[in-house]
Amino acid sequence: MHDLNNETIKSMDVWHIQLPVNAPRDHGIGLVKGAVDIIIVKLTSSSGAVGFGEGSPWSVFTGTAEASFAALNRYMRPHIIGRPLSERQKIISDCALSVAHCTEAKVALETALYDLLGQISGLRVADLLGGAFRERIDLSCSLANPDFDADIMLCERLVDDGVGMVKLKAGFASHQFDMMRLETLRKKFPQLDVRVDFNQGLNVDEAAMRVRDVAGMKPSFIEQPVAAHHFRLMAQLKQMIDVPLLADESVFNSADLNRAILQDICDGISVKIMKTGSLMGSVQLAAQAASAGLSAYGGDMFESGLAHAAGTHMIAASANITLGCEFYQAKYYLETDILATPFVIENGQVVVPDGPGLGVYVDEDKVHHYALNHAGGS
């Protein structure tokens, strides 16, 4: 039996890596092309156990990889090295106070701490978060390629793989393009559950018309049609349509959700560990949403299988995240992942990893290979 008081954090490595992706994607607020930027954290304990975590910033959404790297390496490091693992909540709190924003860096640290604790105790991260409500999570894959023919081919692959949900990224081109894609999906793939996400892409003048038309196609939900701060317009759009309206960029954390509930802007939310900056905070955010009668799904950013695994444990431990997850990047978007074995998706469902900690293992040679920047040591 390990004594956590005797286990201290001996060293921390931080990498900024760029992983190549297989296609361009337009998400309304920004285009992703070539590669995605990811931060990897490795904590090593005094007994030699290691834990990994990932931050997946997107500059137009949460922040930059450079900011996350500096947050961990410069501002958080003094609050981490030499501390006993038994003080992990205090470490998380001290680090959160040491630098504003940088939620991706904060969740990367928390993930690495939970993974390390899991490696030492033999418990899964889902167990450390309170215990698993589910072992499989339905997968939704996003369609965001400006070349719609390529997305049709992706849909054929998804259907063959047993995936039952897709999310059409809309609002980055013309209204006609969005409606044509929706109609084509309905016709070609009637079995698919189709969601629509505007990623804040609509301006105030056009939002009502475009959202009303899209709602007429009866998607399962419409997500974040307008800018994050347009709470009043979100509330008006919610009243106008008879399909659920979900908030993503409008709700990062508990304070945002309080305001969203008070102003009645949505029927549900996207819970993302990169927005809350915390696995435990995400579990709590989902519970807060449920207490107000809101639904939730588990979203992601441009992540590797490592962050997917962290999100999977978070959803497993959240009774109220019932609309599935979007952890498709590692399998369907990255040219190559950094995990030693592939992130497991079976018959359209993400499988909650077994084994201690996150239950996945990082191929450090790959991390070194794709690294732009690395800082290590104590």
Q: How many CA atoms does the CB half-sphere of 208 hold within 13 Å? A: 8
- Quote the least distance from Cβ 56 to Mg ion, whole Å: 14
Could you say which residues in the range 78-117 bind Mg ion, by CB under 5 A? none
Q: Are the beta carbons of 194 and 168 closer than 8 angstroms?
A: yes
Q: Which is nearer to Mg ion, 16 or 27 (CB)?
A: 27
- Quote the least distance from Cβ 270 to Mg ion, whole Å: 5
- Quote the least distance from Cβ 5 to Mg ion, whole Å: 42
Amino acid (one-letter) located at 349: Q
Of the candidates 55, 46, 54, the residue with the CA atom closest to the CA atom of residue 120 = 46
- Quote the least distance from Cβ 177 to Mg ion, whole Å: 19
Which stretch in 33-41, 88-96, 130-138, 241-249 sits in contact with Mg ion by CB under 5 A?
241-249
Q: Which is nearer to Mg ion, 289 or 338 (CB)?
A: 289
Which stretch in 134-142, 192-200, 201-209, 329-337 sits in contact with Mg ion by CB under 5 A?
192-200
Q: Which is nearer to Mg ion, 301 or 345 (CB)?
A: 301
- Quote the least distance from Cβ 109 to Mg ion, whole Å: 24
Using rule CB under 5 A, residue 300 touches Mg ion: no
Binding marks (x or -) toward Mg ion, 193..232, rule CB under 5 A? Answer: ----x-----------------------------------
Which stretch in 47-55, 85-93, 205-213, 248-256 sits in contact with Mg ion by CB under 5 A?
248-256
What are the structure tokens assigned to 61, written together? 């959404």
Q: Which is nearer to Mg ion, 54 or 248 (CB)?
A: 248
Q: Which is nearer to Mg ion, 248 or 337 (CB)?
A: 248
- Quote the least distance from Cβ 248 to Mg ion, whole Å: 4
Find the residue with minimal CB distance to Mg ion: 248
Could you say which residues in the range 118-157 bind Mg ion, by CB under 5 A? none
- Quote the least distance from Cβ 344 to Mg ion, whole Å: 24
Which stretch in 174-182, 202-210, 243-251, 344-352 sits in contact with Mg ion by CB under 5 A?
243-251
- Quote the least distance from Cβ 199 to Mg ion, whole Å: 5
- Quote the least distance from Cβ 273 to Mg ion, whole Å: 14
Distance of CA 212 to the CA centre of its chain: 28
- Which residues lie closer than 8 Å to 190 by C-beta, 6 or more apart? none
Interface with Mg ion (CB under 5 A), residue total 2
Interface with Mg ion (CB under 5 A), residue from 178, 248, 326, 337: 248
Q: What span, in angstroms and rounded, lies between the C-alpha atoms of 265 and 164? A: 28
In the complex, which residues of this chain contact Mg ion (CB under 5 A)? 197, 248
